[in-house]
Structure 1
Amino acid sequence: MKAIQVTGYGDVNKLELVTQAIPEPKENEVLIKVKACAINNTEIWMREGAYGKGSKSGWRPEGVQFPRTPGSDIAGTIVKLGEAVDKSILGKDVVLFPFTSSGEAGFEHISEDMSFIGSEYDGGYAEYVVWPAHLCFDMPLSDYTKSAVFTVSGLTAWHMIEQIQAQPRETIMVTGANGGVGSLNVQIASKVFGAKVIAIVGDLGLEEQMKELGATHVLSYKSDTLAEEIIKVNGGPIDSVLDVVGDALFSTSLQVLKKGGKLCISGSAGGQKTELDFRTLYLKHITLYGSVLGTRQEFKRMLQAISEGKIKPVIDRTFPLEKAREAQIYFKKAGKLGKVVLIPEE
């Protein structure tokens, strides 16, 4: 089969197209023919070494073992079964829950042995992948590409919104609202949880599309008076912030939150370090949440909402698998709306 391997920490030149044997599923695993694999920040940061310091970077303390096939947003068809797997799932179209863990239900995402597909295991930048059968879920939509865009971004967004305990008619600000996680934050917060959403983007040319996703107001982070504009359109401070940007909008987020407000952070594309005046936190009684991925039950609830049409796929562009370098370069460009997806050629 064809696969893309990361050969070490570095730029896109560390992505290499290789031909290798199709993997064999172990006793409780299945072999999936990959039909689509969406790109996430996580595999780019894994390649760039952004998850650690020095020579070790990854979800686990020991760092990534190279070469590694990245890719965690996977949709495909089960084509081969391990000996202990129920025969009835052969031929089923599935999406993959993206990590293994020994953590108890509801806490599996914070278990010390959490291991991620595409980082600790070979992932979906390939024509085939193996994965535990119990972590394969029915595809929520009939289209592979549309179904592939939700796994990591959708689970992350869903978990963020459950963490802040979003309520109907609350106001939630979403940063990076045109990205993979952000565009799903907008949809889930507004169309599933009934909140009012202020979407923060760079290009106000995206205003109409963001409102179609559920945003009530769309503002640009490029404005010199962003905090004032947020408070003005809301008629006062806001309830919560869902942030994937980090430093660039951190002080603004704290400024516009009401007393008792909540800030959930699940990314740092706009800067991984910031300055914080602790007085802002305790004088305003602000709650900070760090968030990555989520639980299997949250994943099931998300898939159900997708199948009911409450959350829709947002896809910017697709690339053939062989163009993974170009796809990752394009992924990092500003101004996109939604996901970038790799498609293995038939």
Structure 2
Amino acid sequence: MSTGTEKGTVSGLEATAQGTLPEVMAAVLLTGHGGLEKLEYRTNVPVPAPGEGEVLIEVGAAGINNTDINTRIGWYSKAVDSGTNAGGAEGFADITDSDATWSGEALTFPRIQGADAAGRIVAVGEGVSPDRIGERVLVRNMLRTYVGYRPYECWTFGSECDGGFAQFAVAPSRETYAVNSDWSDADLAAIPCAYSTAENMLHRAQAGAERVLITGASGGVGLAAVQLAKRRGATVTAVCSAAKAAQVRAEGADRTVDRGTELVAELGRNSFDVVIDIVGGPEAGQLLELLRSGGRYAIAGAISGPVAEIDLRTIYLKDLSLLGCTFQEDEVFENLITYIEANEIHPVVSKTYPLSNIAQAQEDFLSKKHTGKLVLLPPAAHA
């Protein structure tokens, strides 16, 4: 399994359709928790070798996500009680390394981050058919192979193992999905983290042709949730900034509400069946008031802050279901591949950057001036 950049190289592997694989590659190494200075772009990183049951992917594009930044700055540590942006560029002065990741295990450094990876298989490890070489693929971002497919356990690609911020990446063959699509690599790389997070929330909430409220609706996950909820027949109300409202409506939202609006006063109590919350923070209590009796609240992010005050009476008197959404059943990602191939969804990619410009890309991501996704493009390994 790929657990760090110290892994052996591909020297000695058979040639691929594109020629002999290089022994070193360009990659961004995270050297520790902290600010943007902890991201080091290097061109002499050994190309990893796929182990048993793994494939080697030449990465065509890698999307940027909140989880990349949160992992870098150690935001998942319970020592942090503010939103991502408070430490997004400089990091946090005080974190506890032991709980600063998704899994709650200390991160090992250096680490190649990148939860999103789209590309082609160029080599395979023992036990994987060489017929897979040449396949265009997406890697599932929430990996179950390395934890024995135990329920509610997973590794995040680019956190507990090396990910897609490189020219080449290793991933489990079982969780590397062939995709038949004419989309660009940048479009495909916008899917794994954002769309699987959104689809998982809707799946867990069993959302259908109902009234659905989505927070943070102009970001990668939020815009994905708008598209995916509409695919399920929902009537969607989206919370976003006024400047981005037109584009959010263009992606399917039936109504938009300005971020910062007093939501209960604007929308009314008991007016939604499902709330899809990516923002968290102090408005969480209002969101529960918006739900009808028997409503469902799904959360998979807290960019506005991890600490909220809620009235427990609202939960039990209204028989609400609160769903924390991280772990994903296999069908969630498998469904996304189906949606892509049927052209039932399509991501919004606002801008692409060379991999070497990752710091600028993350600064732009934190500014939240874009809609949809920002994507990194590694240099071509075979010129």
Measured against the shorter chain, the TM-score band is over 0.9
Deviation at 1:255, TM superposition (A): 1.8
Q: Percent identity?
A: 34
- 1:164 aligns to what? 205
- 1:274 aligns to what? 308
Amino acid at match of 1:199: A
Tell me the distance in 2 between the aligned counterparts of 1:128 and 1:46: 21
- 1:196 aligns to what? 235
Deviation at 1:43, TM superposition (A): 1.2
Describe the SS at the equivalent of 1:130: strand
Amino acid at match of 1:291: C
Consecutive unaligned residues in structure 2, runs of 5 or more:
1-24, 80-95
- Alpha-carbon displacement from aligned partner over 1:116-151 (angstroms, at most 9, x marks no partner): 211111111000011111211113532211111110
Describe the SS at the equivalent of 2:97: coil
Structure 1 runs, 4 residues or longer, greater than 3 Å off: 102-105
Describe the SS at the equivalent of 1:336: coil
Tell me the distance in 2 between the aligned counterparts of 1:226 and 1:275: 16
- Alpha-carbon displacement from aligned partner over 1:93-114 (angstroms, at most 9, x marks no partner): 1000124325999x75612xx2
Counterpart check, 1:151 vs 2:192: yes
Give yes or no for contact 1:109–1:294 (8 Å, CA) kept in 2: no
Give yes or no for contact 2:277–2:297 (8 Å, CA) kept in 1: yes
Counterpart check, 1:219 vs 2:253: no
Deviation at 1:248, TM superposition (A): 3.6
- 2:152 aligns to what? 110
Describe the SS at the equivalent of 1:67: coil
Give yes or no for contact 1:139–1:147 (8 Å, CA) kept in 2: no
Give yes or no for contact 2:57–2:170 (8 Å, CA) kept in 1: yes
Change in CA separation of 1:180 and 1:231 when aligned onto 2, cut-off 3 Å = same
Give yes or no for contact 1:7–1:66 (8 Å, CA) kept in 2: yes
Match of 2:281 among 227, 247, 252: 247
Counterpart check, 1:338 vs 2:350: no
Tell me the distance in 1 between the aligned counterparts of 2:308 and 2:244: 28
Alignment RMSD, CA only? 1.9
Give yes or no for contact 2:26–2:379 (8 Å, CA) kept in 1: no
Amino acid at match of 1:128: F
Tell me the distance in 2 between the aligned counterparts of 1:293 and 1:146: 24
- 1:121 aligns to what? 161
> 1:311-322 maps to which residues of 2 (within 5 A)?
311-322=345-356
- 1:90 aligns to what? 133
- Matched positions, count: 336
- Alpha-carbon displacement from aligned partner over 1:60-79 (angstroms, at most 9, x marks no partner): 33311011010011000111
Describe the SS at the equivalent of 2:286: helix
Tell me the distance in 1 between the aligned counterparts of 2:366 and 2:199: 23
Give yes or no for contact 2:283–2:308 (8 Å, CA) kept in 1: no
Give yes or no for contact 1:36–1:75 (8 Å, CA) kept in 2: yes
Tell me the distance in 2 between the aligned counterparts of 1:141 and 1:37: 17
> 1:253-292 maps to which residues of 2 (within 5 A)?
253-292=287-326
Give yes or no for contact 2:141–2:156 (8 Å, CA) kept in 1: yes
TM-score (norm 2): 0.84
Describe the SS at the equivalent of 1:110: coil
TM-score (norm 1): 0.92
Deviation at 1:228, TM superposition (A): 2.1
Counterpart check, 1:134 vs 2:174: yes
Deviation at 1:171, TM superposition (A): 0.5
Describe the SS at the equivalent of 2:230: helix
Tell me the distance in 2 between the aligned counterparts of 1:104 and 1:25: 18
Describe the SS at the equivalent of 1:4: strand
Counterpart check, 1:10 vs 2:25: no
Change in CA separation of 1:279 and 1:174 when aligned onto 2, cut-off 3 Å = same
Tell me the distance in 1 between the aligned counterparts of 2:348 and 2:327: 19
Tell me the distance in 1 between the aligned counterparts of 2:311 and 2:327: 28
Tell me the distance in 1 between the aligned counterparts of 2:40 and 2:247: 36
Report which stretch shifted further, 3-12 or 46-55.
46-55
Describe the SS at the equivalent of 2:226: helix
Tell me the distance in 1 between the aligned counterparts of 2:224 and 2:150: 22
> 1:293-304 maps to which residues of 2 (within 5 A)?
293-304=327-338
Match of 1:59 among 92, 102, 106: 102
